[in-house]
Amino acid sequence: MLILGLAPGAHGANRTGRPFTGDGAGYFMYPVLYQTGFANQPDATFRGDGLKLRKAWIASVVRCAPPGDKPTPQEIRNCSAHLEAEIELLKYLRVVVCLGKIAFDGYLAHLFGRGVIQRKSAYKFGHGAYYLLPNGMHLLCSYHPSLRNTNTGRLNSAMFSRIFVKARELAGIKD
């Protein structure tokens, strides 16, 4: 499974060297990944804390923290080759979970550029949205686990957990 986010957090991955580590979004996300079997522990505070992902990889559509969490279309295009190369290395990938609309749009651009989909407009972002793509890949959508979403109740642990339970099921992960 690929978990696709927006960008490394200025106070998280940029500081710690690991996605969603040491920031509010990670404090929300890693316990859910642990509960759903995708991580060996619920906490991610620093790079050497022993956390290991299981059958999951985390990437982002942009490589550096954009001002105001709003990358420009040019920034997304500039980083697209990095995302493409990362996805190509994931040989057993079956499920992509996009965290937020920007990650979703970035992944759709990747699919469109590869000729997997004909129209990006055929796909709409929404929490819990699911698509079986023409190449057999499964695409799941979630609101981003940012403090902006979790502190306001737009996203809660139960909602987020359901996404990853479904991802396990779609990926055929039994253990």
Predicted pLDDT of residue 12: 54
Alpha-helical (H) ranges within the chain are 13-16, 24-35, 73-89, 101-113, 147-150, 157-171
Share of the chain above pLDDT 90, in %: 73
Query: Could you give the angle at the alpha carbon of 145 between the alpha carbons of 143 and 146, nearest 5°?
Result: 110
pLDDT tens digit sequence for 75-102? 888 889 999 999 999 999 999 999 999 9
Distance CA 161, CA 33 (A): 8
Q: Which residues of 122-131 are buried (b: 16+ CB within 10 A; e: fewer)?
A: ebebebeeeb
| pTM metric for this prediction | 0.93
Going by CATH, does the domain composed of 2-171 fall within 3.40.470.10? yes
DSSP bridge pairs for 99: 142
> Residue 76: what pLDDT?
86
The stretches in the chain having pLDDT less than 70 are 8-17, 65-69
